[in-house]
């Protein structure tokens, strides 16, 4: 797929799989990916639960990026149950998903925690896939743009507060909450409208050149069946995939579409 920006196909395993499943997944996936024509035209990433990271790193044999799903903004301290960026880096992890709607919904994460986490990531030159997206209620009451703007404002504030701004370390994922795990993907028109808006907000904050470079992923019920329609849109620079990333064959098919 000829695109302005390199497509990123990212799996988010959420709280799924054990070590044996991880081994079996990569035993099947890696040979397929390695044999994929034009595989260098796409980036492939898996956001794994922490106990699976070492297995995923070993079994994926450097063919993909292994990322985490979350991190704390402080480098160390009395934060039971949390993990810091230096700990992840020490483990060979240089990327994380951040601000996923499930973190917001079930663990009280807010735009303020997003700001702190972006600041910490930028200071550490740590890469993030920062998630934004509206709920069904918010969409129905025409608040989508406002909600996305508030979420982006927090992300942009975190970046701007850092003395070592590195925009190439930031990817945005638009994940409408109502499309996550529901089988009800956004239409290409709905996704493109928000993606264009995100790029325009980025242009206002950082200039049109940076906005052209920003990768904006779509997430929410992406499958091999709808991937072609979504990924062929100029403003959609990849996908963040939950359910379909758990099956090597489905996820590979999406990689195949992206690299075609
Ligand atoms: P599904 O692909 O299962 O809808 O999940 C999307 C998601 O939340 C990825 O982060």
> Mean of the per-residue pLDDT values for the chain?
97
3-state secondary structure 217-232: EEECCCCCCCHHHHHC
Q: How confident is the model at residue 2 (pLDDT cuts 50, 70, 90)?
A: confident
93-118 pLDDT, tens digit each: 999 999 999 999 999 999 999 999 99
Residues marked active site are found at: 100, 175
- pLDDT attached to residue 225: 97
Separation of 31 CA from ligand 1 center, angstroms?
25
104 Cβ contact partners less than 8 Å away, ≥ 6 residues apart: 110
Percentages helix, strand, coil for the chain (3-state, rounded to 5) are 50, 15, 35
Digit-coded pLDDT (tens) for 119-135: 999 999 999 999 999 99
**Would you say 216 and 174 are in contact if contact means Cβ atoms under 8 Å apart?**
yes
- Residue having the nearest C-alpha atom to atom 2 of ligand 1: 242
> Is residue 43 a contact partner of residue 9, using CB atoms and an 8 Å limit?
yes
Residue 100 alpha carbon, nearest atom of ligand 1: 10
CA distance 159 to 115: 8
In this prediction, residues 177-186 reach a mean pLDDT of 92
| Pocket around ligand 1 at a 6 A CB cut-off | 12, 100, 175, 180-181, 219-222, 240-244
Closest CA to 217 of 184, 178, 257, 171: 171
Q: Which residues pair with 132 in a beta bridge?
A: 174
pLDDT at 3: 86
Distance 77 CA to ligand 1 centre (A): 31
Provide the percentage of residues in the chain whose pLDDT is more than 90: 96
Cα of 29 from ligand 1 centre, angstroms = 19
Rg, the chain, Cα only: 17
Question: For residues 258 and 46, what is the distance between their CA atoms, to the nearest angstrom?
Answer: 16
User: For the whole prediction, is pTM greater than 0.85?
Assistant: yes
Q: How many helices (H) and strands (E) does the chain have?
A: 11, 8
């Amino acid at each position: 797929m000829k695109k302005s920006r390199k497509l990123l196909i990212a799996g988010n395993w959420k709280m799924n799989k054990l070590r044996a499943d991880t081994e079996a997944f990569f035993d099947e996936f890696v040979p397929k990916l390695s044999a994929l024509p034009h595989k260098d035209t796409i980036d492939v990433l898996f956001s794994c639960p922490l106990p699976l990271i070492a297995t995923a790193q070993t079994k994926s044999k450097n063919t993909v990026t292994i990322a985490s799903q979350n991190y704390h903004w402080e480098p160390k301290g009395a934060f039971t149950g949390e993990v810091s960026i230096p700990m992840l880096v020490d483990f060979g992890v240089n990327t994380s998903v951040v601000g996923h709607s499930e973190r917001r919904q079930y663990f009280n994460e807010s735009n303020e925690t997003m700001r702190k986490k972006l600041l910490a990531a930028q200071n550490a030159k740590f890469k993030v896939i920062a998630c934004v997206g509206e709920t069904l209620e918010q969409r129905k009451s025409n608040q989508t743009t406002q909600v996305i703007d508030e979420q982006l404002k927090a992300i942009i504030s975190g970046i701007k507060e850092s003395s070592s701004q590195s925009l190439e370390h930031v990817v945005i994922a638009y994940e409408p909450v109502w499309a996550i795990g529901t089988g009800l993907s956004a239409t290409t028109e709905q996704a493109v409208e928000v993606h264009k808006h995100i790029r325009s907000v980025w242009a206002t904050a950082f200039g049109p050149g940076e906005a052209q470079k920003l990768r904006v992923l779509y997430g929410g019920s992406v499958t091999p069946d709808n991937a072609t329609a979504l990924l062929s849109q100029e403003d959609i620079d990849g996908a963040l995939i939950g359910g379909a990333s758990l099956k090597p064959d489905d996820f590979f098919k999406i990689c195949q579409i992206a690299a075609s």
